[in-house]
A and B are shown apart, each in its own frame.
Chain A
């Protein structure tokens, strides 16, 4: 049944539409916060792929510094995206798992990738590289997905397709992409 649902979702939408939907599901999975970084999405995806994984293991796998990792895990825990459980043999070892709304929304995003987590992992890394920023966000990713879907759009259309955040934040993200040469005014 799940496989049928995945095929149907892929068949009913164009790749451009899918690119927008996947980012929307990731925003939902990360507490509806489009300011969440793509790195945070990578961490959530890795935890979902490897239930019971520890922070140290994620740090090694994703090459994230300890301080950045601490911040991401705290955020994910505080917003109810992951659970933390002490290891049976070593109480200092905390095992992580995705849960609740976050797991469900991430599952919706994963439906578009035949290789599931590995496909999403690849995509997020490619977007990080395309966006040319230290800390690209899901908002930035949605702007380029919108343009991938529409091919061209006015600034107003791009901003309207974003989430109901502060206009100044949306404008800042848009201007940064223009300044960095990720998008261009033709």
Chain B
């Protein structure tokens, strides 16, 4: 079966683009930090902030 190599990236793209705010805010984690917390179903968006941005990427 075929899958997306990076489903989180696609999910982020949709989650952010269909939100009311395209500007990331509340970035607290730093690059390399272990990330845990309240992710949504795909485990990628925390409080409207794309997963990559929570990592400071």
Contact = CB atoms under 8 A, between A and B. Distances in A.
A15 B3 contact: no
A145 B6 CA distance: 12
Nearest to A130: B9
| Chain B interface residue bracket vs A | 20 to 34
A85 B2 CA distance: 47
Contacts of B4: 144, 147-148, 182-184
A3 interface: no
Interface stretch (A29-37, A63-71, A117-125): A117-125
Contacts of A182: 4-6
A186 B10 contact: no
B14 A18 contact: yes
Contacts of A18: 14, 18
Nearest to B5: A184
Contacts of B10: 19, 130, 144-145, 147-148
A115 B19 CA distance: 8
B22 A115 contact: yes
A185 B2 contact: yes
Interface in B9-23: 9-20, 22
Interface of A: 10, 15, 18-19, 112-115, 118-120, 122-123, 126-127, 130, 144-145, 147-148, 151-155, 158, 178, 181-186
Give 7 nearest A-B pairs by CB, closest first: A126-B13, A123-B17, A152-B1, A122-B17, A119-B17, A148-B10, A147-B4
